[in-house]
Every structure is written in structure tokens, then in C-alpha cells.
Amino acid sequence: MESKYKELKRECYEANMELNALDLVIYTFGNVSAVDRQNKVFAIKPSGVPYEKLKPEDIVIVDFENNIVEGEMRPSSDTKTHAFLYKNWEDIGGIAHTHATYSVAWAQAQKDIPIFGTTHADHLVADIPCAPPMKDKLIEGNYEHNTGIQILDCFKDKKISHQEVQMVLLGNHGPFTWGNSASKAVYNSKVLEEVARMAYLTLQINPNAPRLKDSLIKKHYERKHGKDAYYGQK
Amino acid sequence: MESKYKELKRECYEANMELNALDLVIYTFGNVSAVDRQNKVFAIKPSGVPYEKLKPEDIVIVDFENNIVEGEMRPSSDTKTHAFLYKNWEDIGGIAHTHATYSVAWAQAQKDIPIFGTTHADHLVADIPCAPPMKDKLIEGNYEHNTGIQILDCFKDKKISHQEVQMVLLGNHGPFTWGNSASKAVYNSKVLEEVARMAYLTLQINPNAPRLKDSLIKKHYERKHGKDAYYGQK
Amino acid sequence: MESKYKELKRECYEANMELNALDLVIYTFGNVSAVDRQNKVFAIKPSGVPYEKLKPEDIVIVDFENNIVEGEMRPSSDTKTHAFLYKNWEDIGGIAHTHATYSVAWAQAQKDIPIFGTTHADHLVADIPCAPPMKDKLIEGNYEHNTGIQILDCFKDKKISHQEVQMVLLGNHGPFTWGNSASKAVYNSKVLEEVARMAYLTLQINPNAPRLKDSLIKKHYERKHGKDAYYGQK
Amino acid sequence: MESKYKELKRECYEANMELNALDLVIYTFGNVSAVDRQNKVFAIKPSGVPYEKLKPEDIVIVDFENNIVEGEMRPSSDTKTHAFLYKNWEDIGGIAHTHATYSVAWAQAQKDIPIFGTTHADHLVADIPCAPPMKDKLIEGNYEHNTGIQILDCFKDKKISHQEVQMVLLGNHGPFTWGNSASKAVYNSKVLEEVARMAYLTLQINPNAPRLKDSLIKKHYERKHGKDAYYGQK
């Protein structure tokens, strides 16, 4: 009998393969998931499988309490972080996690990525937040679950919305990104990596480079995402 | 009935695809246009369309007052900047805009790119200008139109000619380049990106690297563009 | 008559070609070997052969005293280093040596690579050691043999285990990596190069970036390599 | 009637195409020549022809006095530099000139590339020299011929041999490399670019990185080029 999650698995599989095609991962690094809100489950990459060997049927279906609903393989070791985010952010459709080079470098440097230009402002109006490394107790406890808490706390502390800022750096670790679909989450991972690289180079050229001014931030974000947006097709 | 702009659309389409092939853009970033001086219109990439999906017939024909003359899709959100430049610089044939990494980094750093070597001098005899970010009133107003004004003002202030310097950085945004054809505009985007990368590395190796001396600037530019030029085929 | 080492040569050949496919070498740089513990021999790349021309039958079989057991060609000039390591570390199955760019840069800078993040901690729990350049007497003597001694001394001095840290930088030279197979040794070369690049960028962004804290080092290493590891498939 | 230089043209053509395949040039940048000592002529790339359009029959045959011996097209604008070097260094077989990024960056920084490691020492035992920019009078005169003089003067001043050091940076311009064949000259261009990149990164990691010590320089060069060399096949 055909799985009722065949389409969901295919979406998840394709988003994972795109992560690989976009040079955001090597070997088994990284993972993407796609959610099915109706059935309260998500599809996620199996743990430790190289992208070249990944098949749609390897994708694992997990519910928001981290129970495996369908699949022969162990899900990604980061599964609990995905589950936590899906449970708490009820409007997101996909999540991606990579170890992309420039994103990781900023995470290891434990610095927010300043908004320096319109490439950044076309996608979000704030600095890209870097959540501080977790307290030891949280690390030793339910680590991947607590990673999710750490992300939510960071957004609360900085008073930013996960709908407007669809990406975060985890201090010493790397980026998580999300969006209304798995494919959009991967898109955000690629944009983050490119913005991280541009910001890095900007500071090398001019250590005193100023943040983008508010009027330009607003203009570029509004023309793409505002109610009178004129970027893209209707 | 076949469009009278079929050739123009093809030229514009191919120049846009070259932008992508040369790794100067990702996703839907960037745009190229090609002008038809006789009919006072130009062909430009539709807004927000990924390069892999772009077809010659998607290209939009626009006049210098920003009216759509032919095409089903919305033109690039930067269309007004293109129109303004075509109207004011009557001898240019094509315009390209990218978010290429090193070009954007210099624009975000708000620095002119100093002329450090003959690769630069083979193409232009001045530093590559970085126009300052616009005043808030201009940003909040007719933004893309005013971007064109900003470029022209920059060239007036610095007393440089758009025929000799076929490229500019917009502070906090990125590069615009032009030339006697759309293809030449794309060529200039690629050269700019390479020169931007070389200048970046030069300053990392030697923060006190001197500008190229005048005799060498003159020699390299003259052998390629002077009246007794001996670079290339007759 | 077919060689009894046909399988070993094929393993060695494929690992060498992977080194090339992963962009870790150019021209004839680098070499990989695979050991046959039962017969006390190893298979290694012939010296100075470009990867595009390498064939499985070119691979040379050498014993732990550096005698050629089978093969028409001269083995890699680094053969004695491989022999020494196989002899002294009786549990390793393969060794790789590259001149990969970022790994070499750290070796030339004569710096250990600090553990800055979880990408690093997923693979090893210590800084990646950089062995100091050899004393002149050792260089002028049996150089490649002494290179092996230098590596072992470095691990003794720093009190680290070659089972936990499967990679080393040789000061002014470049990386050696190993593992339970030739293919795993190549994997470690790629991971080292990526970690070297991330650490380089981290320090450019934040010269005071802190080392990863102990709890996170432990957590990430344990979830992949500990007795209750939950990364990968059972 | 078939050209007597057909083989020479083919060698030159293939070396030029290799320059392109190795990512050392873009567009029409760079050029390679191959000499025929018996007939006192050399084959060189025509000026300003993109590599994708280059054909073996486009290659121009020039004598050491810069007269075109065969060919419909104008030879490279750097032809006189090639002629001068062939005339003065009677044992070289090919010359390559590129605008490869890291090589150019060092040339623009007007710095010799310090010998930091064995990748460098495997190929030459000295710092890679950067010739100072020419005096104005020489630039305004017979520029490309004088470029050859500048290279020879640099080798005389620094007391280095063109047989041992088969590469030079021209201040503010870029690299010239040579060898016993056109293909070897291209090889040297690639090695130079890689060594330039490693040295750049080394100094970013450790601004006080020490030069390679003499015993290691000697060892690595000798094992590859000395009378008892054991690198490569007999």
C-alpha cells in the first residue's frame, strides 16, 4: 500500500537534494524537513546518510512529540529541534539546517550579522541574530530540544518576529532557517550564506562600515514584501 | 503575428542568461536590459523570475517613460533606473545590474575601488566610483528613478565620463554597468567583479598599496582604447 | 596470474581519485595509501603521476620496511612516512596526504587550529595539532622516516590519541590524515580542510573568538562517537 | 600547402586552452607562446580573441625581431615581451602570461611572495620576485620590449637564475612564467597562483609567519630537482 506521506517525503527529499546542489553541505552535514500541518507530522532526512545515496523512501515521518510515524531509518539527530520549532511556530512549513562555511564562521565568531546593504534588506529588516551558546545544564540535558528553546528565547529577547526574520545562527554551531515550505527554507539558507559572505568582505574592506540606514531598509523590504510590493509577478 | 521586438528580446534574454552563467547572480537577483534607439524602447528581464525558468518571450518591452509596450509580465523592479539612464545617456546600448559578491562588498563598504593595476587600467582610467547612499527624501520618493539621478550626480561631481567609466557602485546596494550592447554591459559586470576581488586582496596583502602611476594608467588604456590601439583585431 | 593485491590496489586507487574529485589536490600533489594488515603491506600512489592518468595497476605495493613488493613504478616520495605510521599505529587502515589550501595555510602559519564550533567537535575533541618543523639534523637525515617520528612525538608531547585525533598538520608542510580505511582518511582530509577554512574565517570576523566550551565539545562528540551515539544509522 | 608550423601552433593552442581550463584567465585575458629554436620563431595567441573561439589556425608565428612570419591575425599585444625573453634566455621553450587573481594581488601589492612552505620549495628555492614598476621613460617608450628588460634586470639585481626561478610578478601588472615547454609554462602559472593563495592566507592567519628554514628548502627542492632526486618516475 502506498504511503499517505509520499508527497511529503518527495518534497522533503527534493529540498534536501537542493541543499546539496547549492553547495551548502558536504557529506552528511545538514538536514531539511517539511511539515504536514493537517496530520501534525513532518518529514525529515535520515541521520548520517550521504546526499548521493539518499532516496525519497528513506525520508522519515515524525510527529511533534518526536515519535517515528513511518520509516525504517533513524531520523536526523537534530529532529527534536525541528519538532520544537514546528510546535511553537504554527505557520512555518519547512526548516533547514546547514554547516555552510560563512554562516558557521559568523556563528563561531558569536556575532550578529549586521545589515549592511539592500541584498540583506530585500529579505529581512534586522541584523541576523546569533543566539548565544546554551548554558551547560541545557547542553547536558535534552540538547536538541533545548536548542529549540534557545532559538525561541533569542527571538523573544531581541523582540524580533520569526515571520520577518526567517533565519538564526546558533552560537558555535551554525544556521537554522525556515519558511512557508521546505524549499523556501533552503532558499533562506542560501541567501543567508551569501549575505554572511558579503558582510564578512564588507568588514574586511571597511571595519567601520555603517549599518544600512532605516529609510533604505524600509524601502527595499517594502518593495518586496510590503502591501504595495512591486517585486516579482502578481 | 510575430513581435517586431523579437531580436531585441533575444539579445536581452541571452545577456541575462550570460549573467547567470558567469556566476554573477543567484536565484532572481540582477537584471539586464537592451535598448532599441530607433523605437525608443528597451527590453528588460521580468521581475522575480529565476534564470532557469526565463524564456525569451518573457522579456518585457518598456519605453523611456516606463510604459509597458509589450509583454505579459511585470518588468524588473529596477526598470525606472534603466529608463532614466537610457534617456540621459543617449549612446549606451545595454545596462546590467547584479548583486555580485565583491562588487557588493565594496558598495557596502562605501568605498571607491582604487586603480591598483593594469587589469583595471585596461578597462578604465579612474577609480571605480561608489555613489553615496541617497538622501532619505529621495529614497521615500520615486526610488528607482532617483537611483538614476544619484548615478548621474555622482558622475558630475567626480567629473568623470560615462563613456570612459562604464560602471558604478551604488552605496549599500551594488553595481550598475553599461556599454554599447547588453552583452558588453554584462562583460563590464564580470570585469568589475574581478577587479573588485583583486583590489580587495591587494589591500589585505598591503594596506598601503599605492595607486597605479599615471604613466602606466595611460599606457594600458591607450593600447586598448587609444587612437593607435594595438590590442585586439582590426 | 592475477595479483593477490588487486582489491587493495583498487581501494587505494579509488581513494586517490576521490582526493582529486574533492578538490584537495592539483596536478601530482598528494597521495593516499591503504593497508593490508594480514600481509603487512600497503598500497600507495606512484610518485609524480597526475590523477587523470592514474590507473589501478599503477598502484605500488610496499612493505613496512619500505621494500617494493609489487609494481613497476616508484612509490610516492612520502612512502616512508606512511610505512612508519602503519608500523606504529597498528589499528589504522589508510593514510592521506594533501596540499589542500587552508590546511597548508595553517601549517605554514605554524598554528594549531582551535576548536571553535560543533563542525569541529563532531569529529574530534581537541585543537588540530600542528607539529613544529623538524630539527635540521632530522631533515638532512632520513627525512620522510623522520617525518613519521615528528608526528608521533607531537602526539606524545600533546598527550593526544591518534584514534581520537585522526589528523595532524606538519609545520611548513601540510596535513596528514588517517582512519580505519583509505576512504575514511580522505574523508578526514576533506573535513580538516573545511574546518581549517571555517576557523580562518572565524578569526577574521572575531580575532577574540572563544574556543568551544567543554560541555558542547563533549555533547557533540558523544552524540556521534560515544557509547550512546545517536548520529547515523545503527 | 600545409604550414611547417602546424605542430608548433597546435602546442601553443593547447597550452592556451589549458590556461583557460585551469581558471587562470577570463575572456581574452592572458596568452601563452611556444618557441621553435631551430627556426628562430615562436607561436603566440592572437590578440583579443576569447578562448572559446580560439582555433589552432588562428595562432600567429612571429620571429625574435617581432616580425609576423605566418598568420592572418594580430599577435598578442604582449608579443615583444615574449620575443625579448626568448632571445635572451636561450634555453626556455614556452612562456605564459595571466591575470590570475592571487598572483595579480601580490603584483599590485608590490611584494615578493615569501617562501613559507614545502609546496613552494618543491618548485623553487627563493621568494617569488616582484619586479618594481618601470620608470616613466620606459613605459612611454617601447613598453612591451622594456617589460622584458625589466624582468631581466630584476633577476640580475636579485642574483637569481631564470632556470631555478621560472616565474616573476611584474609590479602593478601580473605574472609571467616560463619553462622548457609551453605546457610547463602553464603548469608554473597554476603553481604560482596556488602558492600565491597559500602565502596570502598564511599571512592572514599569522602576520609573523617565519620563512621556511634553509634545511627544508634545500631538502624539498633536492628531492624533486637535485641529482639524487627521487620524486616522480625515472
Q: Confirm or reject contact between D47 and chain B (CB < 8 A).
A: yes
Is residue D232, in this structure, part of any structural domain at all? no
For residue C186, the chain A residue with the least C-alpha distance is A27
Q: For residue B59, give every residue at least 6 positions away whose Cβ sits within 8 Å of its Cβ, in sequence order, or none.
A: B8, B9, B12, B13, B43, B44, B45, B46, B71
CB contact under 8 A, C232 and A140: no
Among residues D88, D96, D84, which one has the least CA distance to residue D146? D84
pLDDT in tens, D39-94: 999 999 999 999 999 999 999 999 999 999 999 999 999 999 999 999 999 999 99
Neighbours of C192 (CB within 10 A): 29
Q: For residue C67, give every residue at least 6 positions away whose Cβ sits within 8 Å of its Cβ, in sequence order, or none.
A: none
Q: For residue C131, give every residue at least 6 positions away whose Cβ sits within 8 Å of its Cβ, in sequence order, or none.
A: C150, C151, C153, C154, C168, C169, C170, C171
Q: Are B182 and B32 in contact (CB under 8 A)?
A: yes
| CA neighbours closer than 13 Å in the CB half-sphere of residue B69 | 19
With a cut of 80, say whether residue B6 has pLDDT above it: yes
Is residue D1, in this structure, part of any structural domain at all? no
Calculate what percentage of chain A has a pLDDT beyond 70.
Answer: 100
Is residue D234, in this structure, part of any structural domain at all? no
Q: Are A74 and C234 in contact (CB under 8 A)?
A: yes
pLDDT in tens, A133-176: 999 999 999 999 999 999 999 999 999 999 999 999 999 999 99
How many domains does chain C divide into?
1
With a cut of 90, say whether residue B2 has pLDDT above it: no
Nearest beta carbon to residue A108 from set C116, C191, C215: C116
Please report, for chain A, how many H helices and E strands are present, in that order: 8, 8
- For chain D, the average pLDDT equals 96
Among residues C12, A24, A212, which one has the least CA distance to residue B133? A212
Nearest beta carbon to residue C104 from set D119, D213, D232: D119
Among residues A84, A25, A81, which one has the least CA distance to residue A49? A25
Query: In the B/D pair of chains, how many CB contacts fall below 8 A?
Result: 84
Q: Are D82 and D182 in contact (CB under 8 A)?
A: no
- Pairwise CA distance, residues C225 & D134, whole Å: 60
Nearest beta carbon to residue D198 from set C28, C101, C204: C101
ipTM score for this prediction: 0.96
Is residue C29, in this structure, part of any structural domain at all? yes
CB contact under 8 A, C119 and A104: yes
- The CATH number for D193's domain is 3.40.225.10
Is residue D116, in this structure, part of any structural domain at all? yes
Mean of pLDDT values over A81-91: 98
With a cut of 80, say whether residue C38 has pLDDT above it: yes
Return the C-alpha torsion angle C34, C38, C41, C45, nearest 10. -20
Classify residue C166 by its DSSP letter: -
Neighbours of B113 (CB within 10 A): 25
With a cut of 90, say whether residue B231 has pLDDT above it: no
**Residue A82, domain extent:** 6-225
Neighbours of B21 (CB within 10 A): 12
Q: For residue D16, give every residue at least 6 positions away whose Cβ sits within 8 Å of its Cβ, in sequence order, or none.
A: D30, D31, D32, D45, D51, D54
With a cut of 90, say whether residue D223 has pLDDT above it: no
Nearest beta carbon to residue A233 from set B46, B99, B107: B46
- Pairwise CA distance, residues D88 & D83, whole Å: 9
Mean of pLDDT values over A90-101: 98
Chain B neighbors of D139, CB-CB under 8 A: 215-216, 219
pLDDT in tens, C70-99: 999 999 999 999 999 999 999 999 999 999
Dihedral sign (CA D147, D152, D158, D163):
positive
| Three-state DSSP state, D114 | coil
Q: Confirm or reject contact between A140 and chain C (CB < 8 A).
A: yes
Return the C-alpha torsion angle D20, D25, D27, D30, nearest 10. -100
User: Could you list the active site residues of B?
Assistant: 122, 231
Touching subunits for chain B (3+ Cβ pairs under 8 A): A, D
Q: How far is the first Cα of chain B from the last one, in angstroms, to the nearest whole number? A: 40
d(CA B154, nearest CA chain D) in Å: 27
| CA neighbours closer than 13 Å in the CB half-sphere of residue A147 | 22
With a cut of 90, say whether residue B221 has pLDDT above it: no
Q: For residue B90, give every residue at least 6 positions away whose Cβ sits within 8 Å of its Cβ, in sequence order, or none.
A: B37
Q: Confirm or reject contact between D198 and chain B (CB < 8 A).
A: no
CB contact under 8 A, D118 and C174: yes
d(CA A225, nearest CA chain C) in Å: 31
Q: Confirm or reject contact between B38 and chain D (CB < 8 A).
A: no
For residue D188, the chain C residue with the least C-alpha distance is C27
Please report, for chain B, how many H helices and E strands are present, in that order: 8, 8
Is residue A231, in this structure, part of any structural domain at all? no
C19 vs C224 pLDDT, higher one: C19
Return the HEC string of B45-78: CECCCCHHHCCHHHCEEEECCCCEEECCCCECCC
- Pairwise CA distance, residues B108 & B170, whole Å: 9
D-facing residues of C in 145-184 (CB < 8 A) are: 172-174
- Pairwise CA distance, residues D34 & C229, whole Å: 60
What pLDDT shows up at residue B24? 97
Is residue B142, in this structure, part of any structural domain at all? yes
Is residue B160, in this structure, part of any structural domain at all? yes
| Three-state DSSP state, A178 | strand
